[in-house]
Copies of this chain bind each other. A is one copy, B any other.
Amino acid sequence: MNINELQVGVIGGTGEEGRGLALRWAMAGARVRIGSRTAERAQAAAAELNPFVVNNPIGHGENREVVAEADFALLTVPFEHAAATLEALVPDLRPGAIVIDITVPVSFEKGVGVRYAAPPEGSASEHLRARLPENVPLVAAFKTEPAHLLVDPHEKLDCDVLVAGGDKEARARVIEAIRFIEGLRPVDAGPLASARAIERMTVLAIGINRRYKIKSACYRVMGL
């Protein structure tokens, strides 16, 4: 894989997760475009990040524009908007594009804090998978990476990225591309149903952050 030729389109890329992943993949050399419902917001997000990008500056556009040329369409909107956003963009996806889902469905409960809100399909990734045409591969990744770390170019990363998906070839391509990001190690987490574990690990990390008064809990698989 030539990372300089990889096109990444970040759907809803003006949020912290979206900007963070846009930054990290752009720092790794990929061609990244931030998408938004309004092109101006995408432009502002890209302008904020580009001082830290050496090679290909981050581009911008409306969501449908950035997915039209993307090898990876990175879905970074909050889970509650993910299905509708994705379904609306299906006609615009470049043939052969891989959808990367980073969403985690959570609910807030008074006194308890953040809770995992399991979709009926078992996980957010399976919920979204059920709403995509069969020939569009969907891969779960980056679900356990802390957004505020990703978005800060001065933060050194030291986390594993658990990568799951039913299409082995698509999963392998995402794994290969993540290897170019400094400080992140992709781990093959197998079938998409692994997202049931991975999404809950995110909520577990949020609880650990709260109990230990830290902000950046993430995971490493040991023994690998």
Q: Interface residues, chain A, CB within 8 Å of chain B?
A: 112, 115-116, 146, 158-159, 162, 187-191, 193-194, 196-198, 200-201, 203-205, 207-208, 211-212, 214-224
Indicate which residue in B191, B216, B221 contacts A219 across the interface (CB closer than 8 Å): B221
Contacting pair B214 A116 (CB below 8 A): no
- Measured between beta carbons, the chain B residues less than 8 angstroms from A220 are 219-220, 222
Q: Given A196-B200, A197-B197, are A205 and B190 also a contact pair (CB < 8 Å)?
A: no
- Measured between beta carbons, the chain B residues less than 8 angstroms from A158 are 222-223
Q: How far is the CB of A23 from chain B (nearest CB, A)?
A: 19
| Residue from A159, A193, A200, A222 with most neighbouring chain B CB atoms (10 Å) | A222
Excluding A158-B223, A220-B220, 10 further A-B contacts by CB distance (< 8 Å) are A115-B193, A116-B197, A159-B222, A162-B204, A188-B211, A190-B204, A190-B211, A197-B197, A200-B200, A218-B221
- Measured between beta carbons, the chain B residues less than 8 angstroms from A187 are 208
Indicate which residue in B190, B207, B221 contacts A189 across the interface (CB closer than 8 Å): B207
Which residue of B is nearest A199, CB measured? B197
Contacting pair B212 A217 (CB below 8 A): no
Contacting pair A222 B218 (CB below 8 A): yes
Q: How far is the CB of A112 from chain B (nearest CB, A)?
A: 8
- Bound-complex Cα distance A197 to B162 (A): 14
| Residue from A208, A215, A223 with most neighbouring chain B CB atoms (10 Å) | A223
Q: Given A188-B211, A223-B146, are A197 and B200 also a contact pair (CB < 8 Å)?
A: yes
Contacting pair A219 B219 (CB below 8 A): yes
